[in-house]
């Protein structure tokens, strides 16, 4: 961090905030503050330029048309690109995921260029992929399983520059048995809404990348209970093993 | 051939009406639940045109939008009842089968049909009923795991409204509703507010940013789509009729700003059906509860008020409504009827509940618990209303619940009160 504040830039909340996306910003801010780190949140509406100096950038989900509008504006503004080049932490969710990639197929049937920050190309599905998602995270990242809810119209193919975030146990994810992507300090997922509320360890990974320091543990009672309830619902216990009780 | 086809279709519709009525009557006599759906769906299976036949002698008013449908339908029904018998799907069965079922109950003296319509089915139901009025309340994110995004719904409406002869009563404060309605020939605009703005930051017509002026007006500088001049205006507790230059004080039994908005929409619709505003106002003022919503029940020594909140916009209105309630129960499920996806809890700002007595229950109470944790709201986790009532005194509890949690709560409080002396207020 350039100073002692952690700056979180919420990119285009007017276009990319569909269903609880602000939860990711709230969770990052809350978890940083619990560790005594002061947080500043910047809401960068789509009429404004994206500053290159924030520590974490968040791009949420968006409706079809909003995603295309966001894509036009992102390409006209070098801010996010500069932030990526400087190794800042960037997270994309759903539409935000597709926008970080090199290109995506829009609902208008045209191919749109993405921000080109992530080596990923997205296509359009015939049917929406909707439902609970459970994935085993790439062992390199040393995280517990990820759980979330997906609701999207896309499939994503990763190029050699990016790695899948997880192997899909339940759900559709990228469409090839994998879910999400990461590349340097850029991370993306189809778990929409507040993915970081369900996955506090993933939130802490981003905070660790951003602050460069190890984080103390904090009270996650309710988040853990929520995770357990969701895993149990899918018939899994922690660490992704199928439970004997599962129906 | 065409003529024969027409006759066959007419016979089928006639048959559908008769069979539907028999089924409805059988359900009524047996007292079995589910009749509101069954009779309608059987009639529809016999003849897909049945609604066309049933609605043709009626003045039809259709009500749609994300929030306020059931309440507004009730308020319009009360208003139009001054002119004669009205049929309505008053319990909120707003899919085609529920609407057909309500229409089946029309008799020879029935004048009007007032129907709440699921947003997705509005074009179809408009096509089949040739309505006199269409009331469009608002559009915001709701159960996105099974319903289209709001601009897609607005787009469906826009197409259907371009072909209608109905008078559209539309909320001038909701850009999505205005864009959808602006293709209609006859529109009466009502400015009743839309506090939730997170689904209309960008212009639905051209995609540019909308300029807003303190919730009072909005405008797209690029394409000129703007808040239209409204005939009916809600200002605090007063309704203005800018055409006649009159103002009316709204003294409703139903609480809150959202219900005042619903009342203005209802009065504006009633006006098109030739019910004068003062008459409609007097009728709407008497409504105290709608299928249990906003009603207070005595329960195990407490007075329990039930409030339904099922998406971010309705939570926003409801949290405002309960700002002075000392004790609040939040109940949250995520079944099919609620939407399986609980993500939208994060679009609700719960911070107004800090330093108040809050209980959390429901099948997905941990989702709510995690959300409240990050908003700094302290709470007690409970299994049921009984658990709250069993320890300590709770003279007044406000229960805010989403759809199926609300149904459980109402079953709980009604179950006990029906055996005792209590009754709903």
Record the tokens describing residue A155, joined without a space.
């499939």
Residue B243 burial (CB < 10 Å; 0-12/13-18/19+)? Answer: exposed
A152 is catalytic: no
- A window 135-164, beta carbon within 8 A of B: 149, 151
Neighbouring C-alpha atoms within 13 Å toward the C-beta of B276: 5
The secondary structure of residue A242, as a DSSP letter, is B
Q: A112, A152, A153, A192: which one is catalytic?
A: A192
The secondary structure of residue B155, as a DSSP letter, is H
Contact B201 A45 (CB under 8 A): yes
Closest of B389, B341, B335 to residue B362, by C-alpha: B335
Å from A228 to nearest chain B CA? 10
Each residue's pLDDT tens digit in chain B (425 positions)? 567 777 888 888 888 888 888 888 888 788 776 666 788 888 888 888 899 999 999 999 999 999 999 999 999 999 999 999 999 999 889 999 999 999 999 999 999 999 999 999 999 999 999 999 999 999 998 887 777 788 899 999 999 999 999 999 999 999 999 999 999 999 999 999 988 888 888 899 988 888 888 767 999 999 999 999 999 999 999 999 999 999 999 999 999 999 999 999 999 999 999 999 999 999 999 999 888 889 999 999 899 999 999 999 999 999 999 999 989 999 999 999 899 999 999 999 999 999 999 999 999 999 999 999 999 999 999 999 999 988 778 889 999 999 999 999 999 998 854 443 333 33
Contact B374 A131 (CB under 8 A): no
pTM: 0.88
> Biggest alpha carbon distance in chain B?
76
Å from A240 to nearest chain B CA? 20
Name the interface residues of B facing A (CB cutoff 8 Å).
141, 144-146, 149-152, 198, 201-202, 207, 209, 340-347, 364, 366-367, 369-371, 373-375
Distances (CA, A) of B136 to A182, B99, B167, B190, B381: 44, 17, 11, 10, 38
Closest of B29, B150, B39 to residue B89, by C-alpha: B39
Between CA A151 and CA A3 the distance in angstroms is: 37
Contact A15 B370 (CB under 8 A): no
Residues of chain B neighbouring A218 (CB-CB closer than 8 A) = none
Between CA B70 and CA B21 the distance in angstroms is: 24
Residue A78's SS3 state is coil
Q: Which residues, 6 or more positions from B113, have their beta carbon under 8 angstroms from its beta carbon?
A: B55, B58, B59, B60, B61, B86, B87, B88, B102, B103, B106, B129
Q: What is the pLDDT of residue A135?
A: 97
Closest of A67, A94, A57 to residue A173, by C-alpha: A94
Q: Which residues, 6 or more positions from B245, have their beta carbon under 8 angstroms from its beta carbon?
A: none
Q: What is the pLDDT of residue B419?
A: 40
Backbone angles phi and psi of A88, in degrees to 5: -70, 160
Q: What's the pLDDT tens digit per position in A222-245?
A: 999 999 999 999 998 765 455 443
Record the tokens describing residue B283, joined without a space.
């009728």
Record the tokens describing residue B105, joined without a space.
């109950």
Å from B193 to nearest chain A CA? 20
Between CA A7 and CA A197 the distance in angstroms is: 19
Q: What's the pLDDT tens digit per position in A47-87?
A: 899 999 999 999 999 888 889 889 999 999 999 999 999 99
Contact A26 B346 (CB under 8 A): yes
Contact A63 B149 (CB under 8 A): yes
- Asked whether B179 and B218 are in contact (CB, 8 A), the reply is no
Of the candidates B151, B209, B370, which has its C-beta nearest A197's C-beta? Answer: B370
Between CA B323 and CA B262 the distance in angstroms is: 20
Q: What is the pLDDT of residue B420?
A: 36
Chain pair A-B, CB pairs under 8 angstroms: 93
Q: Which residue of A has its CA nearest to B372?
A: A222
Q: Assess A47–B contact: CB distance below 8 Å, yes or no.
A: yes
Burial B387-423 (b: 16+ CB within 10 A, else e): ebbeeeebeebbbbbbbbbbbbbbebbbebbeeeeee
- Best of B155, B333, B346, B377 to mutate (most A CBs within 10 Å, chain A): B346
Contact A149 B145 (CB under 8 A): yes
Å from B201 to nearest chain A CA? 5
Residues of chain A neighbouring B373 (CB-CB closer than 8 A) = 222-223
Between CA A131 and CA A192 the distance in angstroms is: 10
Q: What is the layout of strands, in order, in the sheet containing A56-59?
A: A39-44, A6-11, A56-59, A89-93, A186-189, A181-183
Between CA A60 and CA A97 the distance in angstroms is: 8
Decide the pairing of beta strands B217-220 and B210-213. antiparallel
Q: Assess A76–B contact: CB distance below 8 Å, yes or no.
A: no
Decide the pairing of beta strands A146-158 and B85-88. unpaired
- Asked whether B169 and B268 are in contact (CB, 8 A), the reply is yes
Burial A87-106 (b: 16+ CB within 10 A, else e): ebbbbbbbbbbbbbbbbbbb
Backbone angles phi and psi of B419, in degrees to 5: -85, -25
Q: What's the pLDDT tens digit per position in A160-201?
A: 999 999 999 999 999 999 999 999 999 999 998 899 999 999
3-state secondary structure A121-164: EEEEEEEEEEEEEEEEECHHHCCCCEEEEEEEEEEEEECCCCEC
Residues of chain B neighbouring A133 (CB-CB closer than 8 A) = none
Q: Which residue of A has its CA nearest to B211?
A: A47
Quote ipTM for the complex.
0.93
Of the candidates B151, B343, B369, which has its C-beta nearest A149's C-beta? Answer: B343
Of the candidates B202, B366, B375, which has its C-beta nearest A226's C-beta? Answer: B366
Å from B43 to nearest chain A CA? 31
- Asked whether B409 and B361 are in contact (CB, 8 A), the reply is no
Residue B206's SS3 state is coil
Å from A101 to nearest chain B CA? 22
Residues of chain A neighbouring B144 (CB-CB closer than 8 A) = 18-19, 151
- Best of A20, A24, A68 to mutate (most B CBs within 10 Å, chain B): A20
- The DSSP-derived string for B105-127 is T--TTEEEEEEE--GGGHHHHHH
Residues of chain A neighbouring B211 (CB-CB closer than 8 A) = none
Q: Assess A18–B contact: CB distance below 8 Å, yes or no.
A: yes
Between CA B169 and CA B188 the distance in angstroms is: 5
- Asked whether B417 and B410 are in contact (CB, 8 A), the reply is no
């Amino acid at each position: 961090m350039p100073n002692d504040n952690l700056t979180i830039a919420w990119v285009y909340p007017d276009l990319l905030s569909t269903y609880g996306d602000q939860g990711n910003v709230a969770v990052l801010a809350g978890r940083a503050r619990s560790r005594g780190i002061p947080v500043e949140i910047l809401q960068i509406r789509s009429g404004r330029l994206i500053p290159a100096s924030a520590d974490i950038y968040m791009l949420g989900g968006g409706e079809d048309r909003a995603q295309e509008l966001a894509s036009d504006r992102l390409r006209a503004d070098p801010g996010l690109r500069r932030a990526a080049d400087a190794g800042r932490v960037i997270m994309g969710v759903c539409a935000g995921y597709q926008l970080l990639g090199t290109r995506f197929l829009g609902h208008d049937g045209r191919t749109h260029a993405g921000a080109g920050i992530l080596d990923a190309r997205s296509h359009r599905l015939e049917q929406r992929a909707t439902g609970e998602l459970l994935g085993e995270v790439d062992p390199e990242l040393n995280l517990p399983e990820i759980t979330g809810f997906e609701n999207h119209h896309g499939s994503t193919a990763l190029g050699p520059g990016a790695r899948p975030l997880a192997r899909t146990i339940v759900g559709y994810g990228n469409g090839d048995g994998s879910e999400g992507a990461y590349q340097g300090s850029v991370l993306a997922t189809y778990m929409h809404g507040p993915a970081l509320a369900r996955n506090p360890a993933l939130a802490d990974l981003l905070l660790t990348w951003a602050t460069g320091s190890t984080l103390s543990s904090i009270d996650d009672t309710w988040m853990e209970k929520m995770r357990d309830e969701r895993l149990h619902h899918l018939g899994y216990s922690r660490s992704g093993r199928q439970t004997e009780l599962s129906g | 051939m065409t003529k024969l086809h027409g006759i066959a279709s007419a016979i089928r519709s006639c048959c559908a009406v008769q069979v539907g009525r028999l089924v409805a009557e059988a359900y009524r006599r047996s007292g079995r639940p589910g009749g509101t759906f069954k009779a309608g769906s059987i009639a529809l299976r016999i003849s897909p045109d049945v609604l066309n036949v049933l609605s043709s002698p009626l003045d039809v008013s259709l009500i749609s939008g994300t929030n306020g449908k059931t309440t507004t339908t009730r308020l319009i029904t009360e208003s139009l009842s001054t002119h004669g018998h009205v049929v309505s799907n008053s319990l909120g069965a707003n899919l085609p089968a529920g609407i057909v079922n309500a229409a089946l109950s029309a008799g020879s003296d029935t004048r009007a049909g007032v129907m709440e319509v699921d947003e997705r089915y509005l074009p179809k139901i408009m096509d089949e009923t040739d309505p006199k009025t269409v009331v469009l309340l608002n559009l915001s994110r709701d159960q996105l795991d099974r319903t289209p995004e709001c601009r897609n719904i607005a787009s469906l409406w826009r197409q259907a409204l371009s072909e209608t002869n109905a008078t559209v009563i539309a909320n001038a404060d909701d850009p999505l509703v205005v864009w959808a309605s602006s293709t209609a020939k006859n529109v009466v605009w009502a400015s009743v507010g839309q506090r939730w703005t997170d689904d209309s930051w960008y212009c639905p017509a051209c995609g540019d940013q909308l300029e807003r002026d303190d919730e009072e007006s909005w405008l797209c500088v690029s394409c000129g789509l703007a808040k239209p001049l409204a005939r009916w205006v809600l200002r605090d507790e007063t309704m203005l009729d800018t055409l006649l230059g009159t103002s009316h004080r709204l003294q409703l039994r139903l609480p809150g700003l959202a219900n005042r908005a619903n009342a203005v929409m209802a009065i504006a619709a009633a006006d098109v059906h030739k019910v004068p505003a003062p008459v409609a106002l007097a009728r709407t003022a008497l409504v105290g509860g709608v299928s249990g919503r906003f009603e207070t029940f005595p329960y195990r020594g407490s007075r329990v008020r039930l409030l339904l909140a099922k998406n971010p916009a309705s939570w926003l209105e409801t949290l405002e409504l309960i700002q002075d309630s000392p004790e609040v129960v939040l109940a949250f499920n995520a079944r099919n009827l609620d939407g399986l996806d609980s993500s939208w809890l994060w679009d609700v700002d719960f911070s107004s509940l800090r330093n108040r007595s809050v209980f959390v229950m429901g099948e997905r109470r941990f989702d709510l618990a995690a959300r409240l944790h990050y908003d700094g709201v302290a709470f007690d986790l409970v299994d049921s209303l009984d658990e709250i009532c069993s320890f300590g005194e709770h003279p007044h509890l406000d229960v805010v619940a989403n759809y199926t949690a609300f149904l459980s709560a109402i079953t709980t409080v009604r179950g006990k009160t029906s055996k005792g002396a209590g009754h709903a207020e």
